Amino acid sequence: MATYFTADTHFGDAHVLRQRAAHFAGLEAHDEALIRLWNETVSANDEVWHLGDFAAGASRLRCREIFSRLNGTKRLVRCNHDTNRVLGLPWADPPVESARIRVADGAGAECRLFLAHYAHRAWPGLWRGTRHLYGHTHGTLPDTRRSCDVGVDAWDYRPVGLPDLVARQKAATLVPEELQRDAARPVPPASE
């Protein structure tokens, strides 16, 4: 079983085509492509954390139909577009505002993650190596060495696994401000 992350699928949302029109002929093509890419990436036994904006503009029936076609055990970190038609879907657990989880990184180690729909400049566990995953920005914010956007706009319209997320963060040049600030402070001499 692998764990994947995604956000900002915006199923049924005609407004999102203003940003994605170059990639999709219309809303039906958009939704079908995202379903196909999800299922090419995620198996039935995998877990997916969706960090918000699952659907907007789709009816309850359409939300249920799309949800039922997506592989994996699905969990939601809710956000601004996740209305009752999304919150009422059969998520594995009740939707949450944010989550602190631990996931195996594929190399035998455990990775601590803080999940939220909105990007944070500082987050719980930052000082203990916790990585931050978020959505909402549609790939417009630069990654840092500890945070990045998991939305479909940032990952070729498909969910992404932890090894790829960690690799992208390690390649980033920006450091979260809180870590940058303290790294610049001189270390006091050790007492003798």
Q: Tens digits of per-residue pLDDT, 180-191?
A: 877 666 655 554
pLDDT at residue 69, as a whole number: 98
pLDDT at residue 63, as a whole number: 97
Maximum distance among all Cα pairs of the chain, rounded to whole angstroms:
71
For 92-146, the pLDDT digits (tens) are 999 999 999 999 877 778 999 999 999 999 999 999 999 999 999 999 999 999 9
CA 182 from centroid of its chain's CA atoms:
28
Q: Please state the φ and ψ torsions of residue 128, each to the nearest 5 degrees.
A: -105, 20
How many angstroms separate the CA atoms of 107 and 92, rounded?
Answer: 26
pLDDT at residue 192, as a whole number: 40
Q: Of 75, 57, 94, whose CA–CA distance to 133 is shortest?
A: 75
- Exposure pattern of 148-174 as b/e (b: 16+ CB <10 Å)? bbbbbbbbebbbbbbeebbebbeeeee
Percentage of the chain beyond pLDDT 90 is 84
For 143-173, the pLDDT digits (tens) are 999 999 999 999 999 999 999 999 999 999 9
pLDDT at residue 107, as a whole number: 76
pLDDT at residue 184, as a whole number: 63
Check: CB of residue 81 under 8 Å from CB of residue 58.
no
For 22-62, the pLDDT digits (tens) are 899 999 999 999 999 999 999 999 999 999 999 998 999 99
pTM of the model: 0.92
Q: How does residue 177 score in pLDDT terms, banded at 50, 70 and 90?
A: confident
